[in-house]
Copies of this chain bind each other. A is one copy, B any other.
Amino acid sequence: MLSVQLAAIEMNTFFAYYPCMESIYFDWAATAPILPELPQLISEALFTFQGNPSSIHSSGKKSKTELEYNRKVFAKLLETKPEQLIFTSGGSESNSIIFSSLFLKKPGSHIILSAIEHPSIYEFATNLKSFGYEIDFIKPAANGIIIPENIEKHLKKNTTLVSIMTVNNETGAIQKINEIGKLIRHFEQKNGRKVHFHTDAVQALGKIPFKPGLLNIDSASFSAHKIGGPKGVGMLFLKKPLNVISSGGGQEFTIRPGTENIAGIKAFARAMEISLEKLDINYKLVQSLKTILIDELKKIKGIKFLFDNNFESDYSPYIVNATVAPIPGEVVVRMLSDEGIQISTGSACSSRNSKKKLRVLTASGISEQEASGSIRISLGWSSTKEEILNFSLVLNTIISKLRIYHK
């Protein structure tokens, strides 16, 4: 069906007019291109820090010293204590550490999640139901943003964990994490029982101001490759030590076993430094690009924004979501890809499973058809106005041709 459509349209003739467009990458929320200086840094670190940081001999100590140096770099940048930062293999593992620790607590307690969490949280929590956990999935309001009082309302005597992501990876909606945290802290005092408040901050780190040490949260997950670091490295902010199912070899304050990926961690720390040094500049750049993008998209017949106020400060400027319904978003994504333009329909982590990929948007009040037509354009520090104009031009052509087949 898709290939028939593609063949019928014969876009290639048209796009021969755009030789400038070698490749436009607008899928930074799935993964950011690696920062240009990092491959060399990693290559050197692989030679320099060879020892196992757990070894007590000199080359082990050298690795251990480098590991702890990088932890301190993060701690300073994120205003945490070094021992509150646990290096992991990525955002998913960071989330998983928090959720799997629940097995060590009294089963049958209560969890509150937003209905728009990343699959690594959503799928885990869903599995917890069969262990007697009661779970409330809180939907955001029609603008994609959770109302903090809706979380508060659901707090119960036996609530163990609340998990709300900071920036949604599909809609870009920024959740009111600190406000929710304050309500949870207030409830704790009243109820006399600790509630762990976790946030998946993968799309927030290095993009919007986010200092975990200064927020009313107990833990936060981060990923290196979303800010231009290497894949396979992540971090967990943990305000206080946590009992985990396996401390294994005792690495990372017994929270995350396994030999630490020194070269990857060093590259992540450098990516963090660069991201934070340039946070304001990049934010302003991307914000201005987003405004141009939205203006251009508004000119295209057949494009609708998911939320009326998609351009306000409640949303990350790095993520723009629109719908091309009734055209399936996937068709547009694939056709754009054939033209060297890379965007996505939603989360890369659910893009290969059509059953699951509409969850976040439909939970945000978007109809199933509109969600099926959704496209996510996510920007980054090297995005340009020219790319946006070219992208809009191609998108317009694709949509106007496809609209013949989807009425």
Contact = CB atoms under 8 A, between A and B. Distances in A.
A92 B258 contact: yes
A115 to B, nearest CB: 17
A31 B50 contact: yes
Contacts of A23: 58-59
A85 B248 CA distance: 23
A203 interface: no
Given A30-B51, A57-B334, A230-B263, 9 more contacts: A27-B52, A52-B348, A54-B349, A58-B337, A90-B258, A92-B257, A123-B248, A231-B260, A264-B264
A51 B342 contact: yes
Contacts of A277: none
Contacts of A34: 46-47, 50
A251 B46 contact: no
Contacts of A338: 58
A123 B340 contact: no
A38 B46 contact: yes
5 contacts: A31-B259, A92-B248, A127-B246, A232-B260, A264-B264
Interface in A107-135: 118-120, 123-124, 127, 131
A73 to B, nearest CB: 18
Nearest to A260: B231
Interface string A331-346: 0011011101011110
Nearest to A345: B56
Nearest to A330: B56
Contact of A31 (B52, B92, B330): B52
A44 B43 CA distance: 9
Nearest to A96: B246
A345 B55 CA distance: 9
A261 B343 contact: no
A360 interface: no
A103 interface: yes
Contacts of A231: 259-264
Interface of A: 23, 25, 27, 30-31, 33-34, 38-40, 42-44, 46-47, 50-52, 54-60, 88-93, 95-96, 99-100, 103-104, 118-120, 123-124, 127, 131, 223, 225, 230-233, 245-251, 257-264, 330, 333-334, 336-338, 340, 342-345, 347-353, 356
Contact of A249 (B54, B92, B251, B337): B92
Nearest to A229: B46
Given A39-B43, A43-B39, A232 B342 contact: no
A330 to B, nearest CB: 7
Contacts of A40: 43
Given A58-B342, A248-B120, A96 B257 contact: yes
Which among A88, A123, A223, A333 has the highest number of chain B CB atoms within 10 Å? A123
Nearest to A341: B57
Nearest to A93: B258
A344 B40 CA distance: 31
B333 A59 contact: no
Given A120-B246, A232-B232, A248-B123, A44 B39 contact: yes
Contacts of A92: 246, 248-249, 257-259
A119 B56 contact: no
Nearest to A247: B123
B51 A248 contact: no
Contacts of A39: 42-44, 46-47
B127 A245 contact: yes
